[in-house]
């Protein structure tokens, strides 16, 4: 991995580690609304490392795993995946991480995917295997960030994560989301 990408991954990791509630509110408002933020949330990064190391899915540095309690009182594992470049096997990687987390904790993870690449045509939303007698599907709703012309809106946004995203992801060209997690007026 090149040094600029390593710095980029570290910036996202830092943002998620220290600003999880506002990051969730900005990027995943529906998921944010379901979490009881009065309860302590826990980073399970130490548990994620052995599950995701150098494997067929590749070394990852921006993945985060958090345990949080929902407003309904259930424990929830949140796997946050930041992907900065289109990858053919990306959906499979999300599935593999999910399977490994479920195997380790006995609890499936919700996958929160942040795509920061510049390719407007790349928007993975599932991993599927269809055989003759069985079928396996994992669907996820990524937030696709693209940048340009929204800097002023971000600077004025009350959620400071927007400004952090602009700073850490400034290499990209345009701000938008493909699934409508937030929008500028």
pLDDT value at residue 71: 97
What pLDDT is stored for residue 182 in this prediction?
Answer: 38
Instruction: Assess contact for 128 and 143: CB atoms under 8 A.
Output: no
Please report the pLDDT score of residue 150 as a whole number: 53
- Residues linked to residue 135 through DSSP beta bridges, in sequence order: 130
Which residues of the chain, if any, have pLDDT below 70? Answer: 1-10, 48-62, 146-160, 162-185
Q: Model pTM?
A: 0.78
Q: What are phi and psi of 37, to 5 degrees?
A: -75, -5
Retrieve residue 67's tokens. 């345990």
- pLDDT the model gives residue 116: 81
8 Å CB contact between 61 and 13: yes
């Amino acid at each position: 991995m090149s040094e600029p990408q390593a710095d980029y991954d570290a910036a996202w990791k830092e943002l998620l580690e220290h600003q999880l509630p506002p990051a969730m509110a900005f990027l995943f408002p529906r998921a944010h609304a379901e979490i009881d933020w009065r309860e302590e949330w826990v980073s399970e990064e130490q548990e994620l490392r052995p599950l995701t190391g150098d494997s067929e899915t590749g070394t990852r540095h921006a993945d985060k795993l958090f345990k949080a309690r929902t407003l309904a009182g259930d424990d929830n594992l949140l796997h946050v995946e930041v992907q900065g470049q289109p990858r053919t096997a990306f959906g499979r990687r999300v599935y593999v991480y999910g399977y490994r987390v479920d195997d380790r904790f006995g609890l499936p993870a919700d996958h929160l995917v942040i795509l920061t690449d510049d390719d407007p045509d790349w928007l993975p939303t599932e991993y599927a295997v269809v055989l003759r007698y069985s079928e396996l599907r994992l669907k996820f709703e990524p937030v696709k960030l693209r940048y340009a012309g929204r800097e002023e809106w971000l600077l004025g946004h009350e959620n400071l994560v927007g400004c952090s995203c602009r700073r850490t992801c400034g290499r990209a060209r345009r701000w938008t989301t493909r699934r409508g997690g937030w929008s500028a007026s």
